[in-house]
Structure 1
């Protein structure tokens, strides 16, 4: 029995230089047997390049390529980008991040879960402020 589809997806999502030689060989064999996977892999890598280099202006061109390729695997992702296109372009262009806020929210929710049913809001508030 060969590798799972999740394993294949992780190989596709990983930078080629970071894949061990054995995995890169396995991925090359997979891509050689399935032209659709080759197209998906190329589009995924191109999107990663757009994302890592903050080239939001190239998003529309990439979306057009995905539509022309008619790959059902990328259709849900494309639908999501279409639904909030302006936000997607802004997130791929602007240097701002909601990461610090998400860290605070995660810590607050963790403390809240730990405190569930133990005491009132005052102690919860103190623990959040001390954290």
Structure 2
């Protein structure tokens, strides 16, 4: 590879060059993994897609789902569900005795600080258990 690249006037930068052996059986042979002192990797991102050495796409699907979830979290406050979860409801209270705040009710039901609720809501199974426990107590 190095000889052919030198014919075209290209020089291989060994510190940036990575080698990946695609093998569905994951039998990365030790003698093959020492190719020209280059780093051997299990996966890498190429043109925006995760390429792994086992030829599967499960890791790519999980990666894209995580990217979309983080993009939804970064969106503007245009969803009422997000406003409620983050406690950013606008408006004023009526006169008289102060009712229990929404955030206080959430803290009492979940038994964790409000900022932890957003993290727990990301873990769907755990959040479902918390909601089920809070709603069955009443």
Instruction: Give the TM-score normalised by the residue count of structure 2.
Output: 0.32
Structure with greater proportional strand content: 2
TM-score, normalization by structure 1 = 0.34
Q: Rg: which structure is higher?
A: 2
